[in-house]
Chain A
Amino acid sequence: MKLLLKNIQIVNPAQSLNQRKDILISNGTIAEIGQIDEKGCDQVIEGNSLICAPGLFDMHVHLREPGREDEETVQTGCNSAAAGGFTGVACMPNTSPAIDNAEVVSSILEKAKNHLVEVIPIGAVSVGREGESLAPIAELYTAGARAFSDDGVAVKSASLLRNALEYLQMYNAPVIEHCEDESLADGAMNESEVSTLLGLPSVPSVAEDLIVMRDILMAEYTGGKVHIAHISSKRAVEIVREAKAKGINVTAEVTPHHFTLTDDSLKSYDTNFKMNPPLRKAADVEAIIEGLIDGTIDCIASDHAPHSIEEKEMEFIYAPNGILGLETELGLALSELVHKNRLTIEQLIEKLAINPRKILNIPVPKIEKGVEANLSIFDPDLVWTVEVSKFKSKSRNSPFNNRLLTGKSVAVINKGKLYYQNQYHSL
């Protein structure tokens, strides 16, 4: 089948590309880029208002399979990713059982095999994510895991972290850290005057900063790669900035909710605003955006965390942490960062498509003749209202329901498949 993307703005900063042309995709491969006649094409997408970027990649999602298939599966999570404009995701190992053995990696890859969206499993650092002994890292890597994390918690001890960072140098793969000091972590929101007002037990931002500092010192000492997941505090951004200036091997990601919302949102006691790390202050949001601008923060990742309605509709202190992210991520990033003139569209594509793959040490798709098409096509100016009832995810826990966003995915192409107008098509 021949698909023509007509008169579309092609943007790929990795190739210094930013030009308006036609792209012909034939049987899933980019056959030609230039001025192409529509004649003989099976399908044409008019690109006048659209941007074509390398397929977006979200390196922090929870697919819940195995264990909580009532909340999400590999299949529904991938559908959610495709609807949100992503052609790849990396899934966290806090499943049940955890991704701490090669069979779980293989079964996830098997389930994702025929989907448009590529799934990269993240292996557990420790057996059962319990922080005691190293998971079989080499076996996990061989089976397809490309990063390692005990996400949900930080790697429990400095000694285990040290060993993981040293061992992983065989593969040049990162440890992805959920940075939170366990002894300070007994709370349901950020510690501030708002937690005092709401009477909710709280976690101070220093709980994050301490582990960011520990991890960076350990990366420096071992020469290993540390990736800071969902950075959320101003001080943590400063620490990462200083570490990068010193040449330490550290990278960082931020979620859309942490550059969009503050802990004032919790005044409604709506558990859809309960996440970990918690929403913080306006000064943290500003520091995060500055970190995105100057490159301290390498990428944007959703921390897509599906939860059942029954579990979220609970007393605040008992409700689980986390919100859906995949289907609002691009819209929030465009609305909050690009349309507010904080990031250029090129910077955004670096943070959503290029840098996550570089961190995971996997190939970054190119937009050139002869390669398999791995593309995200989006309308940066389309104004739309978020409706969680229409999400492809199995869950509904988003605080952004009814929010007006500017910018939305139109189509994604990968592995010889096209997702367009709510349907999958073979190319």
Chain B
Amino acid sequence: MPLSNRHLLGLYGIPREDIQLILDTSSTFREVLERPIKKVPTLTGKTIVNLFFENSTRTRISFELAQKRLSADTVNFSTSMSSTKKGETFKDTVKNIEAMKIDMIVVRHQSAGVPHFLTKISNANIINAGDGRHEHPTQALLDMYSIREKFKSFEGLRLCIVGDIAHSRVALSNIHGLITMGAKVSVCGPPTMIPRGIESLGVKVLHSIDKAIQENDVLNVLRIQLERKAGTNIPSVREYHNYFGITAERIEKNNPNIVILHPGPINRGVELSSEVADGPYQIILNQVTNGVAVRMAVLYLLGTL
């Protein structure tokens, strides 16, 4: 049974069977990654463009590695600023790239909706690698894969996303995917970091980190953007750490069985203390390895539709 959509724009509205299929396929590729020869010929002859309008070395490398392991031809197009400022419109850029006969586009952009826009101006399969504060579906899928390794099922699993939910694409994708799979999802952060109407997505809102640790099986802890203007949505990074930072002490006091995820890169001493970042609760490095397998699964499933 193939995926129901030829693009992966987000996890909003994606049926349970599709997520299940991606996660199951990821398991297969996860095994491939343990072999001495980690390459399979699945996407031989396919050309994939990694179109990154925003810097994200980690995500790009993860996708690139996944593409190489599937034997696809890869082209990278990265620009830290919008090409429109150079006089070429986004549409022109895409049309130019499209003229090179490509099969798939992996896109990262600072504006929400760019992957949707791409589906209208390109015939390639579009994979969203993060659009504004909207979605980052492969990150959520790899988070979910990592959780499933640990818990086997999402049904009734209690998970809380901690941090700047309002400016996070990871949060939204996780919320949609996890709720579809039957988990109970909450978000935790100071009210200035919780976007309007988030409850309408079916999540509970918490403002106490102790409570979040007590009430959940998993915390997915978001990176606090240090570059965001200080004093606007939080008074200071220090205050954030004191009131929302996750420390070993807080975990031991509230729920020593908690599992910690983090999409990386970690700000040590801000959202996680170093002890927690390196400690027994986290599965962060598993996430990184799983990321390649999950992206291989997505590329494979879309590339062979």
**A-to-B contact residues, CB < 8 Å:** 191-202, 204, 268-269, 310, 313-318
| Known interface pairs A196-B195, A199-B131, A200-B134; A313-B89 also in contact (CB < 8 Å) | yes
Residues of A within 8 A of B114 (CB): 315-316
Give per-residue flags for B126-158: 1 if the beta carbon is below 8 A from chain A beta carbons, else 0.
Answer: 000001111100000000000000000000000
B169→A199 contact, CB < 8 A: yes
Which of A191, A194, A196 has the most CB atoms of chain B within a 10 A radius of its CB?
A: A196
Residues of B within 8 A of A194 (CB): 197
Residues of A within 8 A of B197 (CB): 192-194, 196
Tell me, yes or no, whether B82 is within 8 Å of chain A by CB: yes
B112→A316 contact, CB < 8 A: yes
A314→B132 contact, CB < 8 A: no
A interface, by DSSP: helix, strand, loop or mixed? loop
State how many angstroms separate the Cβ of A231 from the closest Cβ of chain B.
21
Tell me, yes or no, whether B243 is within 8 Å of chain A by CB: no
| Residue in B12, B90, B172, B195 whose beta carbon sits within 8 Å of that of A315 in the complex | B90
B112→A318 contact, CB < 8 A: no
| Complex alpha-carbon distance, A256 and B201, angstroms | 30
| Complex alpha-carbon distance, A197 and B133, angstroms | 10
Give per-residue flags for B98-131: 1 if the beta carbon is below 8 A from chain A beta carbons, else 0.
Answer: 0000000000011111101100000000000001
The tally of residues in B whose CB lies under 8 Å from a CB in A reads 28
A314→B116 contact, CB < 8 A: no
| Known interface pairs A269-B113, A269-B116; A313-B91 also in contact (CB < 8 Å) | yes
B196→A191 contact, CB < 8 A: yes
Residues of A within 8 A of B111 (CB): 315-318
Please provide the chain B residues from 195 to 217 with a CB less than 8 Å away from any CB of chain A in the complex: 195-198, 200-201
| Known interface pairs A191-B196, A195-B196, A197-B12; A316-B110 also in contact (CB < 8 Å) | no
Tell me, yes or no, whether B289 is within 8 Å of chain A by CB: no
A198→B134 contact, CB < 8 A: yes
| Residue in A191, A197, A199, A268 whose beta carbon sits within 8 Å of that of B132 in the complex | A199
| Complex alpha-carbon distance, A202 and B196, angstroms | 10
Tell me, yes or no, whether B84 is within 8 Å of chain A by CB: yes
A200→B89 contact, CB < 8 A: no
State how many angstroms separate the Cβ of A261 from the closest Cβ of chain B.
17
| Known interface pairs A315-B82, A316-B117, A318-B82; A199-B112 also in contact (CB < 8 Å) | yes
| Complex alpha-carbon distance, A192 and B198, angstroms | 9
A314→B84 contact, CB < 8 A: yes
| Complex alpha-carbon distance, A259 and B172, angstroms | 31
Ranked 6 nearest A-B pairs via Cβ:
A199-B134, A193-B197, A269-B113, A315-B111, A199-B112, A317-B111
| Known interface pairs A196-B198, A314-B84; A201-B113 also in contact (CB < 8 Å) | no
B132→A200 contact, CB < 8 A: yes
State how many angstroms separate the Cβ of B222 from the closest Cβ of chain A.
14
State how many angstroms separate the Cβ of B268 from the closest Cβ of chain A.
27
| Complex alpha-carbon distance, A200 and B196, angstroms | 12
B84→A196 contact, CB < 8 A: no
| Residue in A191, A197, A201, A314 whose beta carbon sits within 8 Å of that of B89 in the complex | A314
Q: What is the chain B residue whose CB lies nearest that of A309? A: B91
Residues of A within 8 A of B12 (CB): 197
| Residue in A196, A200, A201 whose beta carbon sits within 8 Å of that of B201 in the complex | A196
| Complex alpha-carbon distance, A199 and B133, angstroms | 5
Q: What is the chain B residue whose CB lies nearest that of A317? A: B111
A199→B82 contact, CB < 8 A: no
Residues of A within 8 A of B116 (CB): 268-269
State how many angstroms separate the Cβ of A143 from the closest Cβ of chain B.
37
| Complex alpha-carbon distance, A268 and B119, angstroms | 12
Residues of A within 8 A of B135 (CB): 199
B195→A317 contact, CB < 8 A: no
| Residue in A195, A198, A199, A318 whose beta carbon sits within 8 Å of that of B84 in the complex | A318
B200→A193 contact, CB < 8 A: yes
Q: What is the chain B residue whose CB lies nearest that of A199? A: B134
Which of B82, B109, B197 has the most CB atoms of chain A within a 10 A radius of its CB?
A: B197
| Complex alpha-carbon distance, A310 and B116, angstroms | 17
A199→B110 contact, CB < 8 A: no
Please provide the chain B residues from 66 to 80 with a CB less than 8 Å away from any CB of chain A in the complex: none
Residues of A within 8 A of B172 (CB): 196-197, 199
State how many angstroms separate the Cβ of B86 from the closest Cβ of chain A.
13
| Residue in A192, A198, A310, A315 whose beta carbon sits within 8 Å of that of B117 in the complex | A315
Q: What is the chain B residue whose CB lies nearest that of A316? A: B113
A314→B91 contact, CB < 8 A: yes
Q: List 22 A-B contacts (CB under 8 A).
A: A192-B196, A193-B197, A193-B198, A196-B166, A196-B197, A196-B200, A198-B113, A198-B134, A199-B169, A200-B113, A200-B133, A269-B112, A310-B89, A314-B84, A314-B91, A315-B82, A315-B90, A315-B109, A316-B112, A317-B132, A318-B84, A318-B111
Residues of A within 8 A of B91 (CB): 310, 313-314
Residues of B within 8 A of A195 (CB): 195-196
B112→A196 contact, CB < 8 A: no
| Complex alpha-carbon distance, A313 and B131, angstroms | 17
A193→B113 contact, CB < 8 A: no
Residues of A within 8 A of B109 (CB): 315
Residues of B within 8 A of A199 (CB): 112, 131-135, 169, 172
State how many angstroms separate the Cβ of B51 from the closest Cβ of chain A.
12
Q: What is the chain A residue whose CB lies nearest that of B112? A: A199
Residues of B within 8 A of A313 (CB): 89, 91
A317→B110 contact, CB < 8 A: yes
State how many angstroms separate the Cβ of B251 from the closest Cβ of chain A.
29
Please provide the chain B residues from 158 to 208 with a CB less than 8 Å away from any CB of chain A in the complex: 166, 169, 172, 195-198, 200-201
State how many angstroms separate the Cβ of A190 from the closest Cβ of chain B.
10
| Complex alpha-carbon distance, A315 and B166, angstroms | 20
Q: What is the chain B residue whose CB lies nearest that of A204? A: B196
State how many angstroms separate the Cβ of B53 from the closest Cβ of chain A.
8
A198→B89 contact, CB < 8 A: no
| Complex alpha-carbon distance, A196 and B116, angstroms | 17
State how many angstroms separate the Cβ of A389 from the closest Cβ of chain B.
18
Apart from A193-B198, A315-B82, what are 17 other A-B pairs with CB-CB below 8 Å?
A191-B196, A192-B196, A193-B196, A193-B197, A195-B195, A196-B195, A196-B198, A196-B200, A197-B200, A199-B131, A200-B134, A201-B133, A269-B112, A314-B84, A315-B110, A315-B113, A315-B117
State how many angstroms separate the Cβ of B20 from the closest Cβ of chain A.
23
| Complex alpha-carbon distance, A191 and B169, angstroms | 17
Residues of B within 8 A of A198 (CB): 112-113, 134
| Complex alpha-carbon distance, A310 and B84, angstroms | 10
Residues of B within 8 A of A191 (CB): 196
State how many angstroms separate the Cβ of B194 from the closest Cβ of chain A.
9
State how many angstroms separate the Cβ of A399 from the closest Cβ of chain B.
15
